[in-house]
Amino acid sequence: MSSLFAQLRIREDTADSCVADNGFCPDWIADNFDRFVDPFWEHVYLTVVAVAIGFVISFALAIVAYRRRWLINPITQATGVLYTIPSIAAFFLLLPLTGRGKTTALIALVAYVLLIIFRNILTGLDNVPDETKDAGRGMGLTDRQLLWRVEIPLALPEIMAGLRIAVTTTVGLATLAFFAGAGGLGGQIFSDINFKSNVVVAGGLAVLLAAVLDGLILLAQRAVTPWTRAVAAR
């Protein structure tokens, strides 16, 4: 386990003075880009799986709390504590219970996003105008139909906004997942923190991933929110 924390130089001895000087070397990056590929996909996996699981749990919590208002405070406080505990600490607090690996990293990352998504879903549902709900009831919708056909669709912009915050935050936190033995771009950064080429490429890929995932959710939001299309389909 301790070998993980030894500062390994990821470069072979070389005559290239740029590499020897820890510089930013386009040639080295071009020749060694494949070493960033696996950590990148590990990072994608951690982010997508953590946000997906986090979404499912928060969605269930939000639906339950929407109907039973007294649950909002306890759920907010419990997820608030999980949100406040730094994920680097959470990884090590979980190690004795779940061992090293992706499971531990995912539990900590899921715990972190619950509050963000829960709060946004609830805000979205609360912001649905009463007249719209009354109109739905007047048309004879049951509570469940009202929820799935009126309230959730109208809450989608806030729900998606929550997902965007969750996904960019998780990309950042997943850079620390290597402490839990789950790999990712953070491990690559940590492997040679003084080498500019390494830090810029690995860090740059993380920023890029955050931007791409954020953009994808924004596109998805545009695709699912035009209510007119949903009405026409019905």
Partner 1 sequence: MSTTLAVLGEFGNAIDFIFNERESPAGGTQVGGLAELWELMWEHLKLSGAAMGVACALSIPLGLWLGHIGKGGFLAINASNVGRAVPSLALIAFFVAYLGVGFTNLLLALVLLAIPPILTNTYTAVRQVDRDTVDAARGMGMTGAQIVRRVELPLALPLIFGGIRISAVNVVATATIAPLAGVLTLGDPIINVNTYGDEGRLAAAIVVAFLAVVTEVSLAGLQRSVTPRGLKLNRRERTT
Distance CA 5, CA 167 (A): 28
Contact flag: residue 88 with partner 1 (CB under 8 A): yes
Q: Is 175 in the site for partner 1 (CB under 8 A)?
A: yes
- The residue type of 129 is P
Q: Which stretch binds partner 1 (CB under 8 A): 12-20, 46-54, 140-148, 163-171?
A: 163-171
d(CA 87, CA 82): 9
User: Which residues from 202-221 bind partner 1, rule CB under 8 A?
Assistant: 202-203, 206-207, 210-211, 214
With binding defined as CB under 8 A, does residue 169 bind partner 1? yes
74, HSE (Cβ side, Cα atoms, 13 Å): 7
First to last CA, the chain: 58
Q: Which of 121, 125, 189, 217 binds partner 1 (CB under 8 A)?
A: 189
Residue closer to partner 1 (CB basis): 211 or 230:
211
Count of residues in contact with partner 1, rule CB under 8 A: 47
Residues 4-63 that bind partner 1 (CB under 8 A): 5, 22
Instruction: Name residues whose C-beta falls within 8 Å of residue 194's C-beta, 6 or more positions apart in sequence.
Output: 22
Positive or negative, the Cα torsion across 91, 93, 95, 98? negative
Length of the chain: 234
Contacts with partner 1, residue ranges (CB under 8 A): 1-2, 5, 22, 80-81, 84-93, 95-97, 165, 168-169, 171-176, 179, 185-186, 189-190, 193-196, 198-200, 202-203, 206-207, 210-211, 214
